[in-house]
Amino acid sequence: MNTLKKLAALLLAACLCLASFAGCSEKGAGNEDNAPAQTNEPVTGVENPADDEPEVVAGEERIDPDLPADLDFGGHAFQILNNDHSIPLWTQRDIGAEELTGEPINDAVFNRNNTVSEKYNCEVVSRKTLNLSGELTTAIKSGDQSADLATVALRTFSAKAQDGSFVELNSVSSLDLTKPWYDQNSVAEVSINHKLYGAASDITLMDKQATTAMVFSKPLYEDYGFMDSYGSFYDLVREGKWTYDVLYKMATSVSSDLDGDGKRTKEDLYGLLFQRDTLTSFFNGFGLAVMTKNAEDIPEPTLMTEQGSDALDRIFDLLYQEDYCMNVMITFGEDYTDNMVKMFEQKQSLFLWIRFADVENLRAMDIDFGISPVPMRDEAQTRYYSSINPYVGTLTCIPQCAYDVEMTGYFVEALASESHYRLLPEYYEINLKGKVARDQESSDMMDTIFSSRIYDLGQIYDPGDFANTLIYMTMSHDRDVASKWAKTSKIVNKTLEKMLAKFAD
């Protein structure tokens, strides 16, 4: 079975053991963070670019969507709202492509859209916006059918799901959410009271790019004798020994005042470069969630349990050691992305916490590095957990103003299935594994990471805004979670109660 097919199978299987767990967090509207130029000459003016069918691995059959044999959309232009983010790294590149350029992702999008358009007599129209929530509201209120589909950032999704903006996906008979082009973890985890208003699909790459992981410097791992102490880093991961205590011991062993000025600055060496929502990523890595769903599919706050409080204390213990760990958001402000990559390339950090959009920026660097999941709580934990940033990770949603819900469902199936065989392989197999990963082990680690993704409803819906408060504590080295929870827990619970009423039968 090829790696991509294995990934799909792992994703489906993983959701079965994820029902009580859940992704990562950040604040405010515009949140985060270049690959070498392609050597191909730009290709334009190709009349039938979709004639080149995606490769099907020998011995495996492509799964086709269950669509009517005579499906014809009558030339309808399906308009898809998507994000033109204030930070270029997070602007979507997966919905529209005007022409073939030789850039692999662009060309996969162009060919996907062309295939669907020609096969089903329709148009795929990308509508980028910096104000997706506002445009959705306007379209729904006007009833002008100006938005058939939307790829919505998780935090935006939470508000719009509550105000009735989206169609409940289980009610759309033309959708088959069991198909491999939907992330089964999202199908299981994002519902509340068995109502699902959005799902992560292969139409977009944003949920993949928002997936969290770790990068380690191979030269520093060897220079500091960790190979002698721990053996192969990848073996640690494979054997379930990549734990938070191991990260702590390694990270707090690496520190040097490289410029000799007696101060800890961006010119020095650290064990870990991190961002504010590393906190919740590590918390999720412990197998914990800000909110966890009960047997009735209702989320309940689980942050401040005894286990949760202990986990936060342990994470603060590492992140706040300024001799060994640097919060790049404090040090560099808005320019933190490029600067953290620069520091890592200059061998100024053993570990780097990233989302997969960040890892693409490592492609051109000379330093040898490896990729791994975030660590587990301890060796008693049976698996890894990889969270998804809720400010940039997206779900595919059908707005209430879609011109025809059942036809839109068929369109989603057509576009998502074609994305699964055109866009996802280009991103995952060719880009990440073929161009970013430096070794086969990192490719294997990606399988582990992407098959262990979780969606933390406490960070997505965040009643009382406490998850936001939590990650912003890292900006001032504040660790007094208990007092903040004591002041806001009533608001959290009251807000949650009002929220759940909107999902009632």
Residues 246 and 358 in one domain: yes
Residues 165 and 291 in one domain: no
Total domain count, the chain: 2
In eight-state DSSP terms, residue 50 is G
pLDDT number for residue 88: 84
CATH of the domain at 110: 3.40.190.10
Q: In whole angstroms, what is the distance from residue 478 CA to residue 474 CA?
A: 6
Exposure class string for 171-210: b at 16+ Cβ within 10 A, else e: ebebbbbebbbbbbbbbbbbbbeebbbbbbbbbbbbbbbb
Say how many C-beta atoms besides its own lie within 10 A of residue 12's C-beta: 18
Asked whether residue 1 is assigned to any structural domain, the reply reads no
Asked whether residue 402 is assigned to any structural domain, the reply reads yes
Residues 199 and 290 in one domain: no
Of the chain, the end-to-end C-alpha distance in Å amounts to 42
Asked whether residue 18 is assigned to any structural domain, the reply reads no
Residues 292 and 440 in one domain: no
Asked whether residue 247 is assigned to any structural domain, the reply reads yes
Residues 241 and 144 in one domain: no
Asked whether residue 156 is assigned to any structural domain, the reply reads yes
Sequence letter at residue 226? F
Residues 80 and 175 in one domain: yes
pLDDT number for residue 20: 38
Residues 333 and 421 in one domain: no
Residues 180 and 281 in one domain: no
Predicted confidence pLDDT, tens digits, the chain (505 residues): 444 444 444 444 443 333 334 333 333 333 333 332 333 222 222 333 334 444 443 334 789 999 999 999 999 999 999 999 888 888 999 999 999 999 999 999 999 999 999 999 999 999 999 999 999 999 999 888 889 999 999 999 999 999 999 999 999 999 999 999 999 999 999 999 999 999 999 999 999 999 999 999 999 999 999 999 999 999 999 999 999 999 999 999 999 999 999 999 999 999 999 999 999 999 999 999 999 999 999 999 999 999 999 999 999 999 999 999 999 999 999 889 889 999 999 999 999 999 999 887 887 778 899 999 999 999 999 999 999 999 899 999 999 999 899 999 999 999 999 999 999 999 988 888 878 887 888 888 999 999 999 999 999 999 999 999 999 999 999 999 999 999 999 999 999 999 999 999 7
Asked whether residue 7 is assigned to any structural domain, the reply reads no
Query: Strands (DSSP E) along 324-422, which ranges?
Result: 325-327, 349-355, 369-372, 386-387, 394-397
The domain boundary residue, chosen from 431, 454, 477: 454
Residues 188 and 273 in one domain: no
pTM above 0.85, yes or no: yes
Residues 100 and 185 in one domain: yes
Residues 355 and 283 in one domain: yes
Interior CA angle at 238 toward 232 and 243, to 5°?
Answer: 85
Asked whether residue 55 is assigned to any structural domain, the reply reads yes
Residues 357 and 277 in one domain: yes
Asked whether residue 120 is assigned to any structural domain, the reply reads yes
Q: Are 110 and 48 in contact (CB under 8 A)?
A: no
pLDDT number for residue 288: 97
pLDDT number for residue 309: 96
Domain that holds residue 415: 33-209+390-454
Q: Are 457 and 22 in contact (CB under 8 A)?
A: yes
